[in-house]
Amino acid sequence: MIRTALLLVVSTLLTGVPTELCAQQPTLPNIVFILADDLGWSSLSIPMDKADPQSASDYHETANLDRLAAAGMRFSRTYASASICSPSRRSILFGHTPVRQGDESFGANYQPTTGNYPTLPQVLKGIDSRYQTAHFGKWDMRAGFSPEDAGYDESDGDTGNKNGNFAIEGTDKWTDYFITGDPKRANTLAARAANFMTRQAKAGVPFFLQISHYATHIEKQTTAESYKKYQKKPRGKKHDDPAFAGMLEDLDHSIGAVLDTLERLGIDQNTYVFFMADNGATEFMPAVRNRLDHPSKFPKPMRNYPLRGGKWTLYEGGIRVPFLVMGPGIEAGSQCDAPIVGWDLLATFAELAGGNPASSNLDTDGGSFVSLLRGETGKPVARTNNALIFHRYNDGYPHSAVISGDYKLLKFWKSGKVELYNLKEDRGETHNIADKNPGKVKELEAEMTAYFQKVNPELLTRYQ
């Protein structure tokens, strides 16, 4: 019944829009960017790496995300910019690393009103002023500016987790679940998206739409229909929570409604759809165990298995996320294994909109991966820094990571401990090979230190 109601709402919004009118597509492509909250790399019902069956869920069902992957390209090595929400979202907005931007005190020079760095919607409008832009859902920059301040034409305002939750207190938000007709406002967001896209299709103008879902952030909300379905379904070994599975499927239905809207409007062939998560899944209830523990210390596979760790850490489970793209010129059912990161998105969107990603006016840390979308796998992403460098600001366990080729180094600033992994051979980060490879450790530590010194030297003085 709830899903039927959602379809009726979206269909009503499309009534009176002639197919012929919608088919008169602008030359410039539309871009829809769907951002999920706290969703693990192995959470979907399709594998994020076709060669690894463990990269799919053994319990969840995500038919519409499977549909998106079948129509386009999945990426097996996509990294969120950070392992927590706000710095990841800021990085996408400006195309800069959280190391450069700061986290505990987001740099004042990043306030959009200063004009120091253009934001994503400002870049697109600078390429072509016809672009109409909207941001619906969770904003959560925690930086004192709204989507409109950042250049969006329409938005839901300066929203955060509370706008998608019941705002309960205590441990209930980790252990309980809630039955509702609009879980995490997923249906509302689909309707908002349909309304915006319909108006732009009628006007014949290109658009950029970011839908930032509140799901699947704790607390768990789902429809009665979805919850009952997963109560009856045999549990998986790594995924076994009916409420979370229901919430994810409700999110999936909302995404399906967006895809259906594009098709009904006749603009699907001129629209790129991106799906990503802001960071990995919350692996366990707080205080159950140390977030940095080795997987061998826990009695069962965790939510991000086969990856180690989860949200709040820079292990793969905290930053490697699902990423799917469909659109013009993208081979259906294809896979890309090149590493992609959140700060690459701005340059990529800019090139799709007709901009030059190498332009000196596009001051970003990321690079465009449009060539990868076109199947040109021999062309690496051109970034200002070839290695991917991350930092987790936290008083309790501040740590950084650098990924270069197959190798990944983590440095824990309080203890001075370093860990080195060969991700090609050990995706789960279970075998620390730092002692056996002092030369590689020295090389990656030097690269990390040089980058910190270049963009945020205060970090080095804080920890050294």
Between 194 and 110, the more confident residue is 194
In the predicted structure, residue 436 carries a pLDDT above the cut 70: yes
In the predicted structure, residue 392 carries a pLDDT above the cut 80: yes
Average pLDDT over residues 252-266: 99
Peptide bond preceding 20: is omega within 30 degrees of 0, i.e. cis? no
Q: How far apart are CA 418 and CA 400, in angstroms?
A: 10
Question: In terms of Cα–Cα distance, which of 79, 123, 116, 114 is closest to 100?
Answer: 116
Q: Which residues contact 441 (CB under 8 A, 6 or more apart)?
A: 409, 418, 420, 434
- Write the DSSP symbol of residue 365: S
Domain regions of the chain by residue span: 2-373, 394-463
What confidence score (pLDDT) does residue 126 get?
94
Q: How far, CA to CA in Å, does 199 sit from each of 156, 266, 305?
A: 17, 13, 42
For the purposes of burial, counting CB atoms within 10 Å of the CB of 255, is it exposed (0-12), middle (13-18) or buried (19 or more)?
Answer: buried
Between 141 and 459, the more confident residue is 141
CB atoms within 10 A of CB 248: 30
Between 302 and 164, the more confident residue is 164
Place 6 in a pLDDT band, splitting at 50, 70 and 90.
very low
What confidence score (pLDDT) does residue 448 get?
97
Average pLDDT over residues 324-333: 98
Q: How far apart are CA 367 and CA 353, in angstroms?
A: 15
E-state strands within 2-47:
30-36
CA atoms within 13 A on the CB side of 131: 27
Pick from 22-26, 46-50, 72-76, 411-415: least confident:
22-26
Place 81 in a pLDDT band, splitting at 50, 70 and 90.
very high
Kind and range of the H or E run holding 451: helix 438-455
- Token output for 35: 């951002």
Q: How far apart are CA 198 and CA 257, in angstroms?
A: 13
In the predicted structure, residue 305 carries a pLDDT above the cut 60: yes
Average pLDDT over residues 364-368: 95
Q: Which residues contact 46 (CB under 8 A, 6 or more apart)?
A: 56, 62, 65, 66, 69, 74
Burial 40-61 (b: 16+ CB within 10 A, else e): bbbbbbbbbbbeeebbbbbbbb
Between 219 and 130, the more confident residue is 130
Give the tens place of pLDDT for each residue, 157-172.
Answer: 999 988 888 655 556 6
- The type of residue at 287 is A
Between 246 and 105, the more confident residue is 246
Give the tens place of pLDDT for each residue, 12-24.
Answer: 434 444 444 344 4
In the predicted structure, residue 31 carries a pLDDT above the cut 50: yes
315 φ, ψ to 5°? -65, 165
In the predicted structure, residue 7 carries a pLDDT above the cut 60: no
- The type of residue at 13 is L
Between 393 and 261, the more confident residue is 261
What confidence score (pLDDT) does residue 14 get?
42
CATH-assigned architecture of domain 2-373: 3-Layer(aba) Sandwich (3.40)
What confidence score (pLDDT) does residue 32 get?
99
68 φ, ψ to 5°? -65, -45
Looking at the chain, the whole-number percentage of residues with pLDDT higher than 70 is: 89
Question: In terms of Cα–Cα distance, which of 278, 272, 270 is closest to 348?
Answer: 272
CATH-assigned architecture of domain 394-463: 2-Layer Sandwich (3.30)
Between 180 and 166, the more confident residue is 180
How far, in whole angstroms, is CA 118 from its chain's centroid?
20
Q: How far apart are CA 173 and CA 10, in angstroms?
A: 31
In the predicted structure, residue 11 carries a pLDDT above the cut 60: no
Q: How far apart are CA 278 and CA 216, in angstroms?
A: 11
Kind and range of the H or E run holding 195: helix 186-203
Between 51 and 174, the more confident residue is 51
- Token output for 391: 């930092």
DSSP H helical ranges for 217-374? 224-232, 242-265, 316-319, 345-352, 370-373
SS3 (DSSP) at 31: strand
Peptide bond preceding 306: is omega within 30 degrees of 0, i.e. cis? yes
418 φ, ψ to 5°? -125, 150
For the purposes of burial, counting CB atoms within 10 Å of the CB of 144, is it exposed (0-12), middle (13-18) or buried (19 or more)?
Answer: exposed
Q: How far apart are CA 93 and CA 44, in angstroms?
A: 26
Please report, for the chain, how many H helices and E strands are present, in that order: 15, 16
Which range of 33-47, 173-187, 380-394 scores highest in mean pLDDT? It is 33-47
